Amino acid sequence: MKSDVDKLLKKHEGLTHSDMQKVMSHVQRRAGDWIINTLMIEGCSTPFKFKRKDKYRNLKGARVNLTYYPGIETVSGFQLEVMNVVRVRIA
């Protein structure tokens, strides 16, 4: 039987899955009704972002499994690469 991750990756070609990634930084900030979570992963300079309705536990120092796709975000006229997280699980 296929796992949920395998089903997601097969259905959506642009997704990437990474296992056992160490979280170096985890920041949560409010944006309207949502909480924006930003993760920085060891060995990667691109932020990983996801939204939740409620605050999420602090992931700093934890190992996580991430399913994500690349995106571009414009901040003050500069385009930055971000990874939009679809699924995050503590490894």
pTM of the model: 0.86
**Spatial separation of the C-alpha atoms in residues 67 and 17, rounded to whole Å:** 4
pLDDT in tens, 32-63: 999 999 999 999 999 999 999 999 899 999 99
What percentage of residues in the chain have a pLDDT greater than 70?
A: 92
Q: Are 64 and 44 contacting, i.e. CB atoms less than 8 angstroms apart?
A: no
Read off the DSSP letter of residue 21: E
DSSP H or E segment with residue 74? strand 63-75
Q: Are 85 and 70 contacting, i.e. CB atoms less than 8 angstroms apart?
A: no
